[in-house]
């Protein structure tokens, strides 16, 4: 093994030990239909007086947040609204939110939306905590290291797990490059799991975000140095997703399936918070940055190809997952391949393609370069890859 690979593994093992021993705050979970309306009373009890609500234009147009705004008024809380969050929040978008937060003298953030909204809110919080640092300067591990404003994360999709994680994925609007800010202080104070907010989701978004959650759980479980907590959360998430995602896709108003998918997303978020993501994300972030392909869709398509390329290095853990969801096989290899096939089959049932049509062959070297930069040495993947292996895998999804 190359000396640098040994260094990678030592670094990963050290950080995993730190994560195992560190007093990582978990978001306090508030769950149940209508739990969104519990937030104002909690904010008031905490002594805060002004709220910045971060959401999307769609939520404002539909008027579905009117009862929440009325509850804020009932609790005599002032509020401002930043509703300009688009998919894959850019640095410019976040700076607009920072300006509004400061202008309105807000004290707490309520993020109502998918992963983009919650990531935007985390990055906003980081900029408030570190006003002299740019978002780019906080890229990477532990570059914030200061308490951010309390965030009430209210996911309206069941997939990103951002309500549970210490990371925020940001897009540099000028260079079309995604980067991640990772710091324990970014974990939201509260995760509000209100299944009623996810029922209006279109089937394709239900599918993409659900596969995003599955990718989180599978990557956390198959990574090296997986802690007991990460293992449990990953296994619980995979089981819930296999039992509920197709139902939620076919019947969006099935409250039980929606509740279980929100729980699965949260569990998978806790898992990656303790044991990182992997090369699926390293590739997907590059593809999302270059072509605007939604993150969950990219993960869904890439996941089986990456697992296949890991080969025997991941057979044992994939066999565990096959046993968990009731797949047949006489050997670890057979079970592992059955689990990979089940992902392809699930994608097909959810209307997700096998390839990313936007991907251009001439961009593969750049995508591989970006994946190496993101993934090494941080992600404790089963097998360490360099550019050539990334290119080989990416070629399969063209």
CA atoms within 13 A on the CB side of 280: 31
Quickly state the pLDDT bin for 369 (edges 50, 70, 90).
very high
Count Cα atoms within 13 angstroms, Cβ side, for 88: 20
pLDDT tens-digit map of 118-131: 999 999 999 999 99
Instruction: Give the pLDDT band (50/70/90) at residue 26.
Output: confident
pLDDT at residue 223 greater than cutoff 90:
yes
Distance CA 350, CA 105 (A): 44
Specify the 3-state DSSP secondary structure of 240. helix
pLDDT of residue 1 exceeding 70 = no
Contact 89, 170 (CB under 8 A): yes
Query: Measured at the alpha carbon of residue 225, what is the angle toward residues 301 and 342, in degrees to the nearest 5?
Result: 30
What domains are defined for the chain?
Answer: 3-16+203-395 (1.20.1090.10), 32-197 (3.40.50.1970)
> How do residues 78-100 score in pLDDT, each as one tens digit?
999 999 998 889 999 999 999 99
User: Which pLDDT belongs to residue 272?
Assistant: 94
Tell me the CA end-to-end span of the chain in Å, nearest whole number: 31
Q: Which of 190, 65, 187 is nearest to 82 (CA)?
A: 65
Nearest to 303 by CA among 398, 211, 206, 169: 211
Mean pLDDT of the chain: 95
Instruction: Give the mean model confidence (pLDDT) for residues 361-372.
Output: 97
Q: Residue 176's pLDDT is what?
A: 76
């Amino acid at each position: 093994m190359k000396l640098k690979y040994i260094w990678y593994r030592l670094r990963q093992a050290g950080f995993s030990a730190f994560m195992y021993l560190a007093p990582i705050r978990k978001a306090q979970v508030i769950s149940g239909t209508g739990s969104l309306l519990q937030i104002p009373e909690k904010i008031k009890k905490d002594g805060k007086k002004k709220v910045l609500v971060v959401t999307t234009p769609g939520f404002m147009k539909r008027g579905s947040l009117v009862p929440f705004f009325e509850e804020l008024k009932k609790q005599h809380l002032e509020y401002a609204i930043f509703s300009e969050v688009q998919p894959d929040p850019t640095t410019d978008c976040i700076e607009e939110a920072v300006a509004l937060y400061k202008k309105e003298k807000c004290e707490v953030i309520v993020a109502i939306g998918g992963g983009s909204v919650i990531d935007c809110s985390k990055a906003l919080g980081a900029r408030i905590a570190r006003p002299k640092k740019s978002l780019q300067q906080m890229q990477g591990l532990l570059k914030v290291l200061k308490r951010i404003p309390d965030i009430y994360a209210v996911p309206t999709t069941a997939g990103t797990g951002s309500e549970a994680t210490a990371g925020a994925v940001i897009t540099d609007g000028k260079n079309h490059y995604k980067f991640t800010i990772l710091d324990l202080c970014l974990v939201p104070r509260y995760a509000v799991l209100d299944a009623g907010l996810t029922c209006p989701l279109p089937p394709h978004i239900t599918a993409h975000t659900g596969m995003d959650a599955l990718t989180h759980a599978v990557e956390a479980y198959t990574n090296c140095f997986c802690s007991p907590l990460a293992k449990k959360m990953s296994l619980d998430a995979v089981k819930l997703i296999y039992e509920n995602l197709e139902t939620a896709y076919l019947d969006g108003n099935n409250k039980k399936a929606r509740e279980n998918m929100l729980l699965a997303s949260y569990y998978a978020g806790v898992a990656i918070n303790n044991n990182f993501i992997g090369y699926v994300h390293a590739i997907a972030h590059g593809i999302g940055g270059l072509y605007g392909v939604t993150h969950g869709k990219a993960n869904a398509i890439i996941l089986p190809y990456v697992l296949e390329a890991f080969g025997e290095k991941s057979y044992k853990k994939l066999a565990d997952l096959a046993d968990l969801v009731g797949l047949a096989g006489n050997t670890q290899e057979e079970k592992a391949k059955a689990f990979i096939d089940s992902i392809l089959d699930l994608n097909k049932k959810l209307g997700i393609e096998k390839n990313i049509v936007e991907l251009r062959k001439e961009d593969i070297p750049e995508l591989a370069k970006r994946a190496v930069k993101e993934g090494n040495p941080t992600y404790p993947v089963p097998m360490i890859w360099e550019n050539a292996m990334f290119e080989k895998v990416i070629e399969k999804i063209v």
